[in-house]
């Protein structure tokens, strides 16, 4: 084991992912870098927009490090977007502020036009950003890399834009399942390599975001979302870093989500953490799950809601505090910091 790996295994966040005892509960927040921070908004303005910020190693590093430092979070998540691999495969992409694909992929011809790529070459800005970020982080802080799960990424690529009903996606789910399987296989290949490169560049954990999975009922959730998430997780397992799987609105299927091969299950705010722990047993670490809207409430409300979660599940090994989804725009910065303090002050 080289020095980097040895340090990685000692970090509080990685220890919790491995269900080892920790001195205090590690905490980081999905979207800890984002529009709620004046410094992020200034950086985005200075860079000329979200995409320019996301494709430059120095600004990726600055956004990631600033968020970690200002919160004293136990992990940083590299600043990027799940749609970067879609762009790298050849799709034209804009942000307004959500991703917008000029030519959505809806048939075999569109799929054939997507190419697999070498992430070290095509996404050098990201890998360089990871190396620089790792060099700038305190030794005890972990760096998380991420990719979108195949189904969630396919959703954006088929729909073209974040959608309320996911109508175009659903038409493909029910009407063109063979095409969707081909598309998911190709995306899986791309995101596996994209994730692997992030670990090679210095990330010490990986999160698979499957935010759109909960739009599917049974048996499609298994067939189109879980099946490909599992394929990605199994392919990444030999890398040896902790793997986190995060799905949304899949509380009814937590047992199956926990069986896909991740070390950690990210739980959204719809399922009480205590229920998740009771249903899943102790063989998997859990991460979550304060409702992000709680951060708009008074500090006493934040304290009591966070402590409810901590008291319910943090006394046994294998828990990482997070929100149940990302920090929302307009969230008061001092409330976010207050939440981190509450978790840091909790004695397990
Ligand atoms: O701090 C971090 O969490 C790291 C950065 C990060 C971003 N996107 C930056 C971003 C991460 C981990 C993501 C993941 C991501 N991107 C997901 C999965 C998690 C989730 O939020 O559900 C998804 C579905 C996307 C696709 C995406 N990108 C959407 C739907 C949007 C618009 C959402 C919004 O908040 O308006 C984006 C844009 C985006 N990605 C922003 C940021 C900071 C906001 C854009 C801006 O600053 O103008």
Q: Which of 97, 155, 156 to mutate to test the pocket of ligand 1 (most atoms within 8 A of CB)?
A: 97
Mean pLDDT of the chain: 97
Percent of the chain whose predicted confidence (pLDDT) is above 90: 95
* pLDDT single digits (tens) 79-121: 999 999 999 999 999 998 899 999 999 999 999 999 999 999 9
Per the CB < 8 A criterion, the answer to whether 103 and 91 are in contact is: yes
Output phi, psi for 298, to 5 deg.
Answer: -60, 155
Element (H, E) at 246: strand 243-247
Nearest CA to ligand 1 atom 18: 209
Residue 9: band (very low, low, confident or very high) from pLDDT cuts 50, 70, 90? confident
CA dihedral sign of residues 257, 258, 259, 264: positive
**Ligand 1 centroid to 86 CA: how many Å?**
14
pLDDT at 6 over 70: no
pLDDT at 1: 43
Contact present, 193 and 119 (Cβ < 8 Å): yes
Per-residue model confidence as pLDDT tens digits over 139-170: 999 999 999 999 999 999 999 999 899 999 99
Distance 122 CA to ligand 1 centre (A): 21
| Residue closest by Cα to atom 5 of ligand 1 | 79
Nearest CA residue ID for atom 28, ligand 1 = 98
CA dihedral 27, 79, 211, 342 (to 10 degrees): 20
Measured CA to CA, the distance from residue 100 to residue 41 in angstroms comes to: 20
Burial of 275 (0-12, 13-18, 19+ CB in 10 A): middle
Tell me: pLDDT of 2 over 70. Answer: no
CA 219 to chain centre: 24
Distances in Å between the Cα of 322 and the Cα atoms of 6, 65, 196, 272 are 25, 18, 24, 13
**319, 313 contact by CB (below 8 A):** yes
Residue 305 pLDDT level (bands cut at 50, 70, 90): very high
How far does the centroid of ligand 1 lie from the alpha carbon of residue 318, in Å? Answer: 26
Which residues touch 290 (CB under 8 Å, ≥6 apart)?
A: 269, 302, 305, 306, 309, 321, 322, 323, 324, 339
Within 8 A by CB and 6+ apart from 220, the residues are: 173
- Mean pLDDT, rounded, for 303-326: 97
Cα distance between residue 333 and residue 93, in whole Å: 30
Q: Which of 60, 82, 155 to mutate to test the pocket of ligand 1 (most atoms within 8 A of CB)?
A: 82
Say if CB 130 and CB 123 are below 8 A apart: no
Atom of ligand 1 nearest to the CA of 207: 12
Quote the ligand 1 centre to 102 CA distance (angstroms).
18
Residue with CA at minimum distance from ligand 1 atom 11: 81
Q: What's the distance, Cα to Cα, between the start and end of the chain in Å?
A: 30
Alpha helices in 176-282 (DSSP H): 177-201, 220, 227-236, 254-258, 273-280
How much is the pTM? 0.97
**CA separation for the pair 153, 188 (Å, rounded):** 10
Percent of the chain with pLDDT over 70: 98
pLDDT attached to residue 7: 83
Closest by Cα among 200, 211, 201, 205 to 75? 205
Q: Is the CB of 79 under 6 A from ligand 1?
A: yes
Q: Name the residue of 28, 29, 34 whose CB sits within 8 Å of the most ligand 1 atoms, as the mutation to test its pocket.
A: 34
Contact 229, 166 (CB under 8 A): no
Residue 70 alpha carbon to ligand 1 centre in Å: 19
pLDDT in tens, 41-62: 999 999 999 999 999 999 999 9
Phi, psi of 49 (to 5 degrees): 125, 170
């Amino acid at each position: 084991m080289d020095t980097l790996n040895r340090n990685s295994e000692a970090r509080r966040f990685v220890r919790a992912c491995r269900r080892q005892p920790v001195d205090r509960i590690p905490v980081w927040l999905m979207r800890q870098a984002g529009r709620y921070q004046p410094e992020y908004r200034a950086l985005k303005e200075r860079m000329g927009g979200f995409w320019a910020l996301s494709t430059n190693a120095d600004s990726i590093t600055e956004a990631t490090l600033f968020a970690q430092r200002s919160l004293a979070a136990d992990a940083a998540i590299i600043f990027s977007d799940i749609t970067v691999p879609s762009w790298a495969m050849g799709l034209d992409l804009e942000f307004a502020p959500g991703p917008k694909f000029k030519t959505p992929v809806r048939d075999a011809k569109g799929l054939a036009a997507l190419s697999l790529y070498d992430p070290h070459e095509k996404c050098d800005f990201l890998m360089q950003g990871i190396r620089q970020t790792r060099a700038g982080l305190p030794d005890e802080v972990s760096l998380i890399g991420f990719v979108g799960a195949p189904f969630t990424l396919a959703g954006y690529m088929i729909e073209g834009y974040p959608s309320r009903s996911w109508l175009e996606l659903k038409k493909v789910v029910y009407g063109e399942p063979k095409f969707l399987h081909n598309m998911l296989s190709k995306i899986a290949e791309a995101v596996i390599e994209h994730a692997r490169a992030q670990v090679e560049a210095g990330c010490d954990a990986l999160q698979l975001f499957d935010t759109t999975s909960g739009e599917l009922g049974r048996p499609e959730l298994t067939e189109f979302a879980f099946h490909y998430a599992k394929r990605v997780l199994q392919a990444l397992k030999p890398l040896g870093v902790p793997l986190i799987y995060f799905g949304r609105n899949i509380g009814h299927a937590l047992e199956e989500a926990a069986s896909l091969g991740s070390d950690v299950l990210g739980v959204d705010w719809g399922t009480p953490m205590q229920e998740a722990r009771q249903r899943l047993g102790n063989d998997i670490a859990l991460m979550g799950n304060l409702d992000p809207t709680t951060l708009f409430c008074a500090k006493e409300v934040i304290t009591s809601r966070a402590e409810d979660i901590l008291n319910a599940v943090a006394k046994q090994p294998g828990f990482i505090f997070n929100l149940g989804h990302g920090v929302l725009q307009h969230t008061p910065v001092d409330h976010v910091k207050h939440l981190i303090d509450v978790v840091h002050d909790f004695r397990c």
